Structure 1
Amino acid sequence: MSIYSSLSVDGPLVVISEFYPCGVNYDEYIVLWNRGSEEVILSYWTLSDGEGVLLFTTLVHILAGDEVHISSNYDSYFDAFGVPPEITVQGWNTNDLVTVSGSFRLADIGDSLVLRSPEGGVVDSVCYGDSGIPEGWFGSPMPALRQGEVAKRVLMGGIPVDSDVSTDWMSFREYRYGYTEHNTISDKIPAGGITSFASPDCSLEVVLEAVQSAKTTIRVCAYELYSAPFCEALACISKSGVDVRILVDLNPAGGICDEEIDCLSFLSTSGCSVLGIHGNLDDDIVRHIGPLHPKYMVIDEVSILVMSENFVPDGIPEDPVHGNRGWGVWIESGLLAGCLAHVFDDDARRSRDDVIAWTSTEWFDSDAGAFEPPRPVYLSGALRPYRSTQACTVRLHVSPDASIQSPFLVPLLESSRRIMFEQFQSDINWNTRWSSEATTNPLLTAIIDALRNGGQSRGILDSSWFNLDRNNATVAGLSCIAVSEDLDGSFLLMDERSPITILHNKGLILDDRTTVISSNNWVYSSFARNRELAAIVDSEEMASYFADAFHMDWFPDDIPPIAIAGPDIDAREGDVVTLDASESSDDRAIVLIWWDFNGDGLADSYGPRIDYAVTAPGEHLVTVHVVDTWGNDASDTMIVRVSGSGVALTAPIMTPCARPPTWILPLALIPVILVLRRLSIRKLNLGKGGS
């Protein structure tokens, strides 16, 4: 036991709070923390690894509650963390502050550290991997660390835990060289300060409006980015003088596609700053985070846009009916924007070894051309953007920083009585960094606990083939417990008849008041390793908006549209008449309107309003067919009475909707195309929590 272990925290209790033994550039470092209430002068204190000793001089001291970072490589430490270490012992060689004897260097496979007072007593010790047990340590060593991994002591109440056992060091969160520690930030948002939106219904509309609102600077953080209209909008504002900064992940699951290569190259040649997070230990590069997985923008440091969807065609689709299901919010807050800008700038800091300019990569194509402008569509989604009318509170949780000992969502779920969620990817069991055996997903455990306390839960998970095994196991596991214990929980996979391509959402609605808009998949790495972002909005009206979106996915649409062909028309030979079915409606959204003039059941024209020149006298029966997003069909008829001589209705005069838009397909092909869209997804996430 340490000689100070019996003292209260008010005593001069110094501990080894952090160390980095498996560096790639001879850049080990160690941190000492003064847990006491008085300054500690480390005169003649020693730190030993069993083969070498660091002897501190009178110039080294630690203020009460403060820590001292001791690095063997000043440049590497400064580049990784953006601040200098308090003490540098370059190459673990003697200098004015520290005298080094023996061969001091931490072994990758295992070693020990012992901190001693001037009298020789053990103040603190730690061991890991294949190491002997040093004096003052109890039980087995902590597991060996991986290359690039930092060992950091668990904190309790902001103070390092010191019981001299391995669990003192086993945080849920994983730490890597150059890690960050961003706090959770909240702000009170006034009425009108939040716009909520859903994909595919209206996400592109809101995203483009946010881009076009930028006056000075816009930061875009993306896992994937190759939406043509989005790229065109960024290039346009860049050419107008806006400082456009983009940070993307250069190692997405499945690799970078050709469309993204063209997009990022085009943006680079258009004046945008495009940086990427990359890293390969074989090249001696340590990524300071796992996958860069958030999807957000910071506009002029006055507003932020946070969503679950990538900046790709299915994430922010031009077609407001077919695409991925996702949620998003555009929030006006200088405080949140400033904090999120700091997160972006820290991740994108050029001194980091894992940050590289796109123009320096092998993929950069200086000849990449501009994109075609978005094609017009007349369809509208079932959901429109909604602007808040009441004040509310928003909190931002940055992962993995927000999940030190457990996923930040766990206490929210445990305290809720009513839970609705949509989730792209969920593992029923997690293999955490320090566990030798799989443990139950703590988010699912929290949901079951809430149900056992009398709560209610409804959940939908993605049914894409590449998620089917893991998500089906989650649905089956939750459902089995709910049924066997008579709990009020219902869970299902996304209905494959839905027009939604992929349920890519990671959203929650808690107690009809709190909405979570997040990039966090329910897998271990998403909370412990990846860079993610969640906006938690405390607002009943915002929760109501997203509850409507949830219910559209929860309840299949078996209700056909109401087709209204319009009133009968009297015309003379040669007149131009307008057939108007614009009064037709649906409980969700209409995807197709087509007209049959001769009763053969085939489409003769498309669109809600059609102009015709008529030349055939007599009564002509016209049928309009209206199709909704789930393929439900309804029809209505009207009569065109034509006086005069002639033989037939002519082809329609060309109007904007007289021919089928290029994206409209024959009705019989709609179900087939929806299946093919699911099977043609370019990027598959096979366990990294990266989509």
Structure 2
Amino acid sequence: MRAPIPPFVLLMLMLVLPASGVMITGFCPDTYAMDEPDEFIVLSGNGSLAGISITDGEGSIRFPDGASIAGRAVVARQAEGYLRVHGTLPDYEMMPTHPDVPDMIRSGDLRMANTQDSLNLLEDGVTVQEVAWPGMVAARQGQVHFLEDGAWDPHPRLIGQSDFAPETFENVSLTLFVSPDCSYEVVEAAIHSARYHINANLYEFTHPGIARMLAGALDRGVGLTILLEGGPVGGVPLEERAVARTLSGGGAAVMAMGTVGENHARYRFDHAKYMVIDNESVLLTTENFKESGIPECGRAGNRGWGVWVRDPAVAAYFNGVFRADSMGGDITPMAGGGEMVPADAVCRHPCFAPLTVEGARVTPVLSPETSALVLDLISGAEESIWIEQAYISNSTDGQPNRFLAAAIEAARRGVDVRVLLDSAWFNTADEEDNDEQAAWINALARAESLPLQARCADLEAAGLDKVHTKGVIVDNRSVLVSSMNWNDNSADFNREAGVIVDSTEAGRYFAGVFSADWESSSDAGEEIDVRLICAAAILAIFLAAAVIRRRRS
């Protein structure tokens, strides 16, 4: 359930809401299609639409006689253009293109400008609502502007993206696991449990062993649908095309998400990593389906976290996400080719076994629509926040990553914060990488005497290829397991999937894994760099001032 609307917002809405109760609650002025026939306006309300009109100052539209609204109505410029992009017809269209869609009554030409324009909603000729851009919303191609709880655009939403609300599920059974120690055996058990169908959404899939498991499921009559990212960083590897060829040859539907002509990819990257089995369980991990991410038992690989949630309600939630993401004009069959070749492997003695826990509380986390739940998790910490991430990138405006900033604020109120980052060469070779991030965090902690520490993992001591997890443990009882990297793109523009698990047993399990990695790693930035301390102190003052301004506003 979404959080209740604050009383002051309700009062504001009462002051501006037209007597009919109809409001503009969404619009998209800058689409990807040529000449933008699919631009649209969304109205919300109930009752008659008599007397309701919309204008941009150059043209206006009003509804045909007898028109009414029951919750929501979409007015598109052209129904045919809207249909090509969204797969459904709008409720009304401005230009006559489809016989089944009622035409608006036009005066002049209402055509929303991309970068600067306004819409006015009128009731019986009197303006009752105005939305203007760039003043009230930021213009961006493909962005669907939407009104939620009295505010425009609480997070980015692009054409075709979903809008799932947060939900929490109680009394859930789940199995916890980590890579490289025991992920393979849990993935194997999950696939072997399938009787009817598996839906899998994966950023990358090159693992020949897991491909063989899924081929075996196909052989015993289990249906299989796989959605892959069509344009991963570095391109689709030949090994993935070999997996696609093998599984599609066995009857699986293997699809890719990517831009196809005017059908723009709805997410920057489809970066999720989960499987839904029989609408009964969902396996979710921080790792791609690669041999380094899910290594066979006794082999080295990445540090990753995962959960196998055995709960029909949670599975149904993720199946809904999968269905929403696997349909549309940006979804095409994945081209197959090549051969599956196992990679060379290094042996490693596993330290952690899977753990099954009962009675947990599970909250799905999706980017972009519910990624703010991660901020809520961190902001609610009372004793400790332990963070293990592949990397942390500062925000595009140069300020600390939003999640890191929230953790720093928690440290300022006395919460023990530890940050463990990857130290592989590709995350430390540049001048603004994990080692500099860890040193900056430690300098800030020294400058303010905060209970805040950061380290880069000692991969050799820990027996890991790299740290690839995206995990957070709060107060040893709440755990985030997610595909979301800590950068702005992941939170705002990717499809990411994760869960927050509330369970003291889960907290202890992943805290044990974190502690093992932490203790095997040396402190970062132990040599005091005066410049870093000064910079940290200046930024601390800036952040404190920003917090004061937010509180005053």
Shorter-chain TM-score range = 0.7 to 0.9
Is 1:504 the counterpart of 2:468? The answer is yes
Task: Tell me by how many angstroms 1:116 deviates.
Answer: 1.9
2:405 alignment partner in structure 1: 445
Higher relative contact order (CA 8 A, sep 6+): 2
In structure 2, what is the Cα distance between the partners aligned to 1:170 and 1:272? Answer: 38
1:127 alignment partner in structure 2: 132
* Matching residue within 189, 192, 205 for 1:212: 192
TM-superposition CA deviations, 1:551-607 (whole Å, max 9, x none) = 12111289xxxxxxxxxxxxxxxxxxxxxxxxxxxxxxxxxxxxxxxxxxxxxxxxx
In structure 2, what is the Cα distance between the partners aligned to 1:557 and 1:5? Answer: 53
TM-superposition CA deviations, 1:250-298 (whole Å, max 9, x none) = 1111111111121112211121110110016xx3222222211111011
2:38 alignment partner in structure 1: 27
Task: Tell me by how many angstroms 1:80 deviates.
Answer: 4.7
Q: Secondary structure at the match of 2:211?
A: helix
2:336 alignment partner in structure 1: 364
Is 1:179 the counterpart of 2:186? The answer is no
In structure 2, what is the Cα distance between the partners aligned to 1:303 and 1:200? Answer: 22
Answer whether contact 1:128 1:145 (CA < 8 A) is retained: no
Structure 1: which amino acid aligns with 2:309? Answer: I
Answer whether contact 2:457 2:521 (CA < 8 A) is retained: no
For the structure 1 residues 6 and 420, does the alpha-carbon distance in structure 2 shift closer, same or farther, using more than 3 Å as the test? Answer: closer
1:524 alignment partner in structure 2: 488
Match runs of 1:94-109 below 5 Å = 97-109=103-115
In structure 2, what is the Cα distance between the partners aligned to 1:332 and 1:75? Answer: 42
1:15 alignment partner in structure 2: 23
Answer whether contact 1:60 1:97 (CA < 8 A) is retained: no
TM-superposition CA deviations, 1:170-201 (whole Å, max 9, x none) = 43x211112211122322235xx311111011
1:150 alignment partner in structure 2: 144
1:420 alignment partner in structure 2: 386
* Matching residue within 332, 354, 376 for 1:385: 354
2:205 alignment partner in structure 1: 225
Higher helix share: 2
Task: Tell me by how many angstroms 1:313 deviates.
Answer: 1.1
* Matching residue within 458, 483, 494 for 1:495: 458
2:64 alignment partner in structure 1: 57
For the structure 1 residues 440 and 235, does the alpha-carbon distance in structure 2 shift closer, same or farther, using more than 3 Å as the test? Answer: same
In structure 2, what is the Cα distance between the partners aligned to 1:376 and 1:55? Answer: 67
Task: Tell me by how many angstroms 1:318 deviates.
Answer: 2.2
Answer whether contact 1:51 1:102 (CA < 8 A) is retained: yes
Structure 2: which amino acid aligns with 1:233? Answer: M
For the structure 1 residues 59 and 471, does the alpha-carbon distance in structure 2 shift closer, same or farther, using more than 3 Å as the test? Answer: farther
In structure 1, what is the Cα distance between the partners aligned to 2:280 and 2:130? Answer: 48
Q: Percent identity?
A: 30
RMSD: 2.7
Answer whether contact 2:228 2:257 (CA < 8 A) is retained: yes
Structure 2: which amino acid aligns with 1:414? Answer: S
1:86 alignment partner in structure 2: 91
Q: Secondary structure at the match of 1:381?
A: coil
In structure 2, what is the Cα distance between the partners aligned to 1:455 and 1:223? Answer: 34
Answer whether contact 1:397 1:535 (CA < 8 A) is retained: yes
Structure 1: which amino acid aligns with 2:336? Answer: F
Q: Scaled by the length of structure 2, what TM-score is found? A: 0.84
For the structure 1 residues 176 and 5, does the alpha-carbon distance in structure 2 shift closer, same or farther, using more than 3 Å as the test? Answer: closer
For the structure 1 residues 291 and 557, does the alpha-carbon distance in structure 2 shift closer, same or farther, using more than 3 Å as the test? Answer: closer
Is 1:402 the counterpart of 2:370? The answer is yes
In structure 2, what is the Cα distance between the partners aligned to 1:544 and 1:6? Answer: 48
Q: Secondary structure at the match of 2:161?
A: coil
Structure 2: which amino acid aligns with 1:99? Answer: I
In structure 2, what is the Cα distance between the partners aligned to 1:291 and 1:534? Answer: 15
1:195 alignment partner in structure 2: 175
Q: Scaled by the length of structure 1, what TM-score is found? A: 0.68
1:268 alignment partner in structure 2: 248
In structure 1, what is the Cα distance between the partners aligned to 2:419 and 2:521? Answer: 18
Answer whether contact 1:14 1:123 (CA < 8 A) is retained: no
Task: Tell me by how many angstroms 1:376 deviates.
Answer: 11
In structure 2, what is the Cα distance between the partners aligned to 1:104 and 1:313? Answer: 55
In structure 1, what is the Cα distance between the partners aligned to 2:387 and 2:296? Answer: 26
Answer whether contact 2:96 2:103 (CA < 8 A) is retained: no
TM-superposition CA deviations, 1:44-81 (whole Å, max 9, x none) = 43212233221223322234xx3321123335545654
Work out the number of aligned pairs and report it: 502
